[in-house]
Amino acid sequence: MSVADRTERTGRVEKTDRGEAVPARAGTFRRRRPRTLGEVVTSAHGAGGSASAELIETVFVDVFRSPALDVLGDGAVLPLPSGESLAFSTDSFVVRPLRFPGGSIGDLAVHGTVNDLAMTGARPLWLSAAFVIEEGFPVDELRRVAEDMAEAARAAGVEVVTGDTKVVDAGASAGLIITTAGVGLVPPGRQLSARRVRPGDRVLVSGTIGEHGMAVMLARGNLAIDAAIRSDTAAVDALVEELLAAAPSARWLRDPTRGGVGTACNELARDTGLGVLLDECSVPVRPDVRGACELLGIDPLHVANEGRFLAVVPPEQAPAALAALREHPLGRSAAVIGEITDGPAGIVAMRTALGGTRIVDMLVGDPLPRIC
């Protein structure tokens, strides 16, 4: 058993089983098992925030434990004899309504898995698709969803190569649930990991945030808010390749879906044992999205995105990375929104427009249910 497997971090040092202090190494500390919230699963456990993390780590990671799973990334990266690595990811999609301004559940089912693969540094190649269909679901609507998936797959340069269907009794599911799994290849030498993140690195976001969650929420029609907000759902694999060409030493990527940018940054701070300092004035949020969030009492940092990603790059490569993102149609609103700091360890802070500083926590609860 290695030191990394049998150490716990305290501050910026680690203690071994024998009580010896050794220098802390980002990303190598053992996670303490969290306590679940109550005795049953609630909607908060599916929101992508702290309750989701507790459920995943306490139940699934504990039961299925393996080195590849313990990373808890957007997908598993598995080495191949050729020198390349295989990236493998899976995701399920439940959204209400099935169609919303800018996309549909079919678009999400493709974009979500393609983007998860891209966050590992992979070039996505193949998808599988499984459908759980409630009895009574209209066939014409099912065909339209499938056509949306086919169009999104063609645009992303991937193929749907296998799948499955199940029909359940009326009322036994949410009408339609889609699960996609994806496979891609990571080029030799390409490594993206929280372990590579260092103090002074810059945090970038590929575009404006919060549009997907707000578009779905307003499409439900139960809020008296008039705003023409469209989902940002899109495949970002081509944009990722542009970033990695401009910043070949990029450290880490993550798509801030459920839980938003705030939760993704908290996961980064947790996994590195470092701090993340964001700049409120630099975070790109469209005025209509900000206004809708203010009316609902929701922080845009905690709203889901489906066509954006976060990147951590060395400071000397940040200007080139930003320029590359802004040259692509999906990255025109990209921005440097913060930096990695020595501490406080595991804390995300934001420098506010008024000159103060506030803590950005992980999402708690589920303010926007069934949005992805």
Domain segments of the chain: what residues? Answer: 84-190, 194-359
Q: Give the CATH superfamily of 194-359.
A: PurM-like C-terminal domain (3.90.650.10)
Residue 21 has pLDDT above 50, yes or no: no
Angle at 256 between CA 250 and CA 257, to 5 degrees: 145
96: left (phi over 0), alpha (psi -120 to 50) or beta: beta
Count Cα neighbours of 145 within 13 Å in the Cβ-side half-sphere: 27
Which of 20-24, 77-81, 132-136, 327-331 shows the lowest mean pLDDT across its residues?
20-24
Tokens of 278: 């964001």
Q: What percent of the chain has pLDDT over 70?
A: 84
- CA distance linking residue 299 with residue 183, whole number of Å: 34
Query: pTM of the predicted model, to two decimals?
Result: 0.83
What pLDDT score does 31 carry? Answer: 46
Confidence class of residue 63 from pLDDT cuts 50, 70 and 90? confident
Confidence class of residue 367 from pLDDT cuts 50, 70 and 90? low
Question: H helices of the chain, where?
Answer: 50-55, 62-64, 67-70, 105-119, 139-156, 211-219, 237-246, 260-272, 287-296, 318-327
Q: Are 212 and 231 in contact (CB under 8 A)?
A: yes
- CA distance linking residue 72 with residue 335, whole number of Å: 26
Average pLDDT for the chain? 87
pLDDT higher at 38 or 92: 92
Confidence class of residue 46 from pLDDT cuts 50, 70 and 90? low
Which of 51-65, 96-110, 288-302 shows the lowest mean pLDDT across its residues?
51-65
Q: pLDDT digit string (tens) for 287-317? A: 999 999 999 899 999 999 999 999 999 999 9
What pLDDT score does 61 carry? Answer: 74
DSSP state of 151: H
Which of 80-84, 143-147, 209-213, 325-329 shows the lowest mean pLDDT across its residues?
80-84
> What is the architecture of the domain spanning 84-190?
2-Layer Sandwich (3.30)
pLDDT higher at 28 or 220: 220
Tokens of 269: 């701070």
If DSSP codes are grouped into helix, strand and coil, which group holds residue 211? helix
Q: pLDDT digit string (tens) for 150-206? A: 999 999 999 999 999 999 999 887 799 999 999 999 999 999 999 999 999 999 999
Confidence class of residue 37 from pLDDT cuts 50, 70 and 90? low
| 108 CB-near residues (< 8 Å, 6+ apart) | 93, 95, 233, 306, 372
- CA distance linking residue 368 with residue 302, whole number of Å: 10
Burial of residue 156, with CB atoms counted within 10 A of its CB: 0-12 exposed, 13-18 middle, 19 or more buried = buried
What pLDDT score does 7 carry? Answer: 37
pLDDT higher at 321 or 4: 321
Provide the terminal-to-terminal Cα distance of the chain, rounded to the nearest Å. 40
- Mean pLDDT value across residues 274-299: 95
